[in-house]
């Protein structure tokens, strides 16, 4: 049943470049291509800009070979391809906050070879966020970014402007959490695909507009009856996974995705800022405190218990690892995280993702995984 409740998010996702162009024409503001979800969007919003996260298009491409190695992850290659193909020709700026080294190379190629880029900024966030010096170091970097933006625009970004943008972004996080929390119950009235549309679009739609849409949806959800069997409740684990066709396939063969640990999902919005008189501290600390991605999760592996906690809280019966091919940080975590989940009663399936994915063979694997979980009635 499609009651159209999430159609706006779907349209935004499918026409995200049209939206950004329209936003620019409407507001006269600058658009900034952001790479990685550690980007402190609060600063860009306070500067009157629209942060638009760079996502891939999941199409074959042949433009990245001169710039980055073929053994860089598909997301690196797909992201860079979007820049080189001119899909972000409306974005004046491009910025990366440090996460993994391959993505940094993709960013460097982008800023050097995408002709429409007029400014770029690399924000060197500490990877060792567990260090006692991390917060102070990141505070200094976020402040430096603020000063860069002030010099770029010729306008002061006041503490008041920052507090206001923090409030807008935090509201977005809160509303997304509220939406995701509705998936804890049996027969949830939000599918995994719908939730993914909501969390993905938050990464490139004007937050105020996105918040209004989330409120509308949340208000309508109590009266919704999806009338679909939930089947097996799945968790998805990985990085930048926005392959909607794949997620829809999972939900078409007897499963429902009820929670995720992905930067296309919960890792992006999970925690709000804590109130601070110094808004830069509030912003810097928030990104140090967010659920870690594997590049920022050592020496202690905080994400193992976090992921298990999500699986338990959302009653996930099993988890599917969506591993971007050649993504070393996630692949490094995989054996231990798999063991941690399985030792705690969460069976797992591992699938390796590329720019385009073979839905047919993947469907067979997901169905076989479902059969190992549910086929008791067969025998």
Partner 1 sequence: MITAGIDMGSRSVKVVLLEQINVDSAPQLQYAVKKAHLMMPGELDADQAAERAFSEALAAAGVARDDVKSVFATGAGRKQVAFATEGVTEMTAGAKGAVYMYPNARTVVDVGAEEGRGIKTDAEGKAVDFAGNEKCAAGAGSFAEAMSRALQLTLAEFGEASLKSDRTIPMNAQCTVFAESEVVSLIHSSTPKEDIAKAVLDAVASRVCAMVRRVGIEGEVVLIGGMAHNPGFVKSLKGAMGVDAVSLPDLPEFVSALGCALIAAERQH
Residues that bind partner 1 (CB under 8 A): 352, 354, 358, 360-361, 364-365, 367-368, 371-372, 375-376, 378-379
Least distance between partner 1 and beta carbon 217 (Å): 34
Least distance between partner 1 and beta carbon 187 (Å): 24
Least distance between partner 1 and beta carbon 323 (Å): 11
**Nearest by Cα to 291 from 281, 283, 282, 302:** 302
The nearer residue to partner 1, 21 or 365, going by C-beta atoms, is: 365
The nearer residue to partner 1, 268 or 353, going by C-beta atoms, is: 353
The nearer residue to partner 1, 156 or 379, going by C-beta atoms, is: 379
Least distance between partner 1 and beta carbon 65 (Å): 18
Contact criterion met (CB below 8 Å) for 279 and 46: no
The nearer residue to partner 1, 187 or 371, going by C-beta atoms, is: 371
Least distance between partner 1 and beta carbon 379 (Å): 5
The nearer residue to partner 1, 302 or 356, going by C-beta atoms, is: 356
Least distance between partner 1 and beta carbon 57 (Å): 20
Least distance between partner 1 and beta carbon 41 (Å): 36
Tell me the longest C-alpha to C-alpha distance in the chain. Answer: 72
Cα–Cα dist 314/7, whole Å:
25
The nearer residue to partner 1, 220 or 368, going by C-beta atoms, is: 368
Cα–Cα dist 40/44, whole Å:
7
Residue for token digits 């549309």?
197
Least distance between partner 1 and beta carbon 362 (Å): 9
The nearer residue to partner 1, 204 or 334, going by C-beta atoms, is: 334
Sign of CA dihedral 73, 177, 207, 20: positive
The nearer residue to partner 1, 147 or 336, going by C-beta atoms, is: 336
The nearer residue to partner 1, 13 or 353, going by C-beta atoms, is: 353
Least distance between partner 1 and beta carbon 261 (Å): 22
């Amino acid at each position: 049943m499609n009651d159209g409740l999430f159609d706006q998010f779907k349209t935004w996702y499918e026409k995200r470049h049209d939206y950004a162009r329209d936003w620019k024409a409407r507001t006269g503001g600058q658009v900034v291509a952001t790479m990685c979800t550690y980007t402190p969007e609060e600063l860009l919003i306070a500067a009157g800009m629209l942060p638009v996260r760079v996502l891939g298009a999941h199409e074959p491409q042949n433009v990245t070979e001169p710039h980055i190695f073929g053994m860089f992850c598909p997301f690196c290659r797909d992201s860079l391809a979007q820049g080189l193909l001119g899909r972000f020709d409306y974005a004046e700026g491009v910025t990366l906050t440090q996460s993994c080294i391959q993505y940094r190379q993709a960013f460097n190629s982008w800023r050097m070879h995408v002709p429409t880029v007029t400014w770029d900024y690399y924000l060197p966030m500490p990877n060792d966020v567990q260090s006692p010096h991390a917060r102070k170091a990141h505070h200094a970097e976020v402040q430096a970014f603020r000063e860069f933006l002030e010099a770029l625009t010729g306008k002061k970004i006041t503490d008041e402007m920052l507090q206001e943008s923090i409030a807008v972004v935090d509201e977005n996080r809160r509303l997304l959490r509220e939406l995701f929390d509705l998936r804890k119950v049996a027969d949830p009235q939000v599918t995994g695909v719908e939730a993914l549309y909501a969390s993905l679009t938050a990464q490139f739609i004007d937050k105020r507009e996105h918040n209004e849409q989330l409120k509308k949806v949340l208000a309508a959800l109590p009266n919704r009856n999806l009338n679909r069997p939930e089947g097996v409740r799945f968790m998805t684990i990985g990085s930048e996974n926005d392959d909607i066709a794949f997620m829809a396939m999972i939900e078409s063969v007897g499963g429902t995705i009820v929670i995720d640990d992905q930067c296309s999902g919960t890792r992006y919005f999970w925690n709000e800022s804590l109130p601070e008189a110094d808004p830069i501290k509030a912003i810097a600390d928030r990104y140090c405190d967010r659920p870690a991605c594997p590049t920022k999760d050592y020496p202690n592996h905080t994400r193992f218990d976090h992921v298990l906690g999500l699986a338990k809280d959302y009653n996930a019966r099993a988890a599917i690892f969506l591993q971007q091919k050649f993504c070393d940080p996630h692949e490094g975590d995989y054996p231990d995280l798999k063991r941690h989940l399985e030792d705690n009663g969460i069976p797992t399936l591992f699938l390796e993702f590329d720019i385009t994915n073979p839905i047919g063979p993947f469907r067979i694997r997901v169905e076989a995984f479902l059969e190992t979980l549910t086929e008791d009635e067969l025998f």
